[in-house]
Chains A and B, each alone.
Chain A
Amino acid sequence: MNLDEDEHDNAPSSPPSTSLNLDRCSITNTDVDMSMASPARHSKSLPTSTSSSFSNGGRKIAESSMVLHPGTGTDTDPSSSQTLTTTTTTTTATTSTTTTPTPTTPVLTPAVLTSELEATSSAGSLSPACSMSSFPRDISATYSRDRQVQPEPTTIPLDERLYSLVDRRQAKLLAKEQERSRKWSKMARQYTSDAWETEYSFSHSSKFVSRIYKGIPDCWRAAAWSHLISKRAVDFDPNIRQAYEAMLAIPSPEEEQIDLDIPRQCALFRVLKAYSNYNAQVGYCQGMASVVATMLTFFDEEKTFVLLAQMFEQYNLNDLVVPGFPALFEAFYIQEELTKLYAPKVFQALTTMGIQTAGYASRWYITLYSAGVVPYRTLLRIWDIFLLEGFDWLYFVALALLKYYEPMLVQHNFEQTMEMLNAKMDIQDDERLLKIAQKLFKQARQSGIVSRLKKTYAATLTDRTDVDDALIAAAPADISAS
């Protein structure tokens, strides 16, 4: 593929058939982070159109009057992209300037802000993300019809004071985000990858780690994720990039199933198809789509494919989704044991209600929380740390979710709890959730409990048949037999 999927392809000058559109696959942004900046779209520059492809204007962010003009980044020709890259590097050091549009591509203005936030906002683009080409989108809403409609202007409360409150809160968030972006740009070292992409590397200092726990700034997320995944995959298949085209070209035994779930024209479909060929052991498992869709909001198709392949390999995700789901069942066991230990009241409540982990947590693990388990902004925070720490982190996210809802869990009945755990969890306070998870994760790492539990689990598997028999014997008589 030499063409990136282009989310603004309504533009007249976009290549008509080859340009791909995430929007067409209805990945929507119902949950745009109010805190602002778009993530950088990590993509190769394209020898396609320039100015006119950005004509379809700005996207409204929530109720505020801030409008960002999308554009740049994905659609520039190679030469202007080079210029842009250079400009980016230089601006990272200067806080007051924004990325200067190159003369050849006058539309590269990173952000046009119609509100009084203009000054602060534009200063936020001192990062690889100064190409504001995309927004975080809520993957959970991907296939959902009843997604929330952005309120019409008429439905917005007209109270001016409310506006100013929102704006002040936003301004505060923006300022914070910019401050953090600035720190990140100081940590980053830019280089050009073998695939001629501008990449960033970071030294794994304690500062870097703690900044990831605080949340990667939106505009640094693509760069950081790419770094975290590739860093684990140093010796990974060097021909992976070329594999994408090859894997796309051949039919996949999973194609029919993928086609049932995803429209064929989508970048999402193609990445899933190519990957099912590339990793035949995994093939395609329902639930992978939302993982890939999340990645596609940050990276182009080919890059998504590369990172997906590296991630599955390096984060032990194969066993999570292969037939038999061995790592999933292991996760259930570990989560239950950890709950027993760290959240005994929750464990007691769930046990009393007869709720087993598989009844709600399959979706949590298989989709890495991406299928509408938590709000999108929370998901990104979870992934930031997941990509840093690895799979074990996900057990503690589960545990933190249960602990977060403990007050309700212990009062609810079976049905209320099942419905709550199966729905999207309305996390109001990301910091609190992540603090719980982080604290337990650190505690557990010191005690080595997870690896002990893995050993215990492996041991129970060897006499699995006995266990099965015992469980069957212990099961209560079914009602129709009563």
Chain B
Amino acid sequence: MSKDDEYDYLFKVVLIGDSGVGKSNLVSRFTRNEFNLESKSTIGVEFTTRSIQVDAKTIKAQIWDTAGQERYRAITSAYYRGAVGALLVYDIAKHATYENVGRWLKELRDHADTNIVIMLVGNKSDLRHLRAVPTDEAKQFAAENGLSFIETSALDSSNVELSFQRILTEIYRIVSNKALESNGDGIRPTGGETINVAPNSGDANAAGGCC
């Protein structure tokens, strides 16, 4: 059961953001160093892991990549629970994806744990000539909302490693400080268990009539 289980910390991280901003490619770049120009759309949630070292500790990241299409939030929002980190991704070349960041923050507030560490990620930084979201503007927005901020390119891999490193380190600092305060016990992040994926009550009447 436990051959892959050698780690000091296990952190659940989710990727959220509009459809087509490059969430899946960020994950594949980070976990497998792959990039796929014609990557297929994520249906529901997808799961991968990767371990990194911080302060000689092994931190295993359990990464949950989510579908960006709006209607999929009915499924994906259940996966925010238990996540200690979130990468909120937008496309620097598509202003609308940045405008929606506020809605995604609300999603996190509604469904995720209050202490979740959020990093705002402006992806596709390789598209310099098409930039629609100025770095400073996003940086300022992040600062005002207590988010970390980074720009990445899954295509040319700039900052991808760094973005995950940073958020995991940040979580690690918080968790290890907390552990110190409470005598170091009980840091056993969950393996994705007890995720409630029932539809919202609003959908209830629609379900009854099937088949």
Interface residues of A (CB under 8 A from B): 26, 142-146, 257, 260-261, 285-287, 289-290, 316, 319, 322-330, 332, 353-360, 362-363, 366-367, 371-372, 390-392, 411-416, 418-419, 422, 454, 457-458, 461-462, 464-465, 467-468, 471-472, 474-476, 478-482
Contact = CB atoms under 8 A, between A and B. Distances in A.
Given A142-B40, A354-B195, A464-B198, 13 more contacts: A26-B38, A146-B34, A286-B19, A286-B41, A324-B74, A353-B193, A359-B45, A359-B195, A359-B197, A392-B211, A415-B191, A464-B201, A468-B198
Contact of B207 (A257, A330, A467, A475): A330
Contact of A354 (B48, B49, B193): B193
Interface in B113-168: 113, 115-116
Contacts of A412: 1
A458 B192 contact: no
Residues of B contacting A: mostly:
loop
Contacts of A465: 201
Most chain B CB within 10 A, of A143, A322, A414, is at A414
B187 A482 contact: yes
Nearest to A140: B40
A324 B202 contact: yes
B174 interface: yes
B47 A362 contact: no
B33 to A, nearest CB: 12
A329 B207 contact: yes
A354 B210 contact: no
A415 B210 CA distance: 33
A480 B84 contact: yes
Nearest to A421: B47
Contact of B40 (A144, A329, A391): A144
B211 A391 contact: yes
A327 B74 CA distance: 13
B40 A419 contact: no
A419 B47 contact: yes
B70 to A, nearest CB: 8
A-B residue pairs, 7 tightest by C-beta: A354-B193, A362-B44, A326-B207, A324-B203, A143-B40, A358-B197, A480-B115
Contacts of A329: 197-199, 203, 207
Contact of A464 (B186, B204, B211): B204
Interface string B36-54: 1111111111111100000
Given A144-B40, A366-B44, A419-B48, A327 B192 contact: no
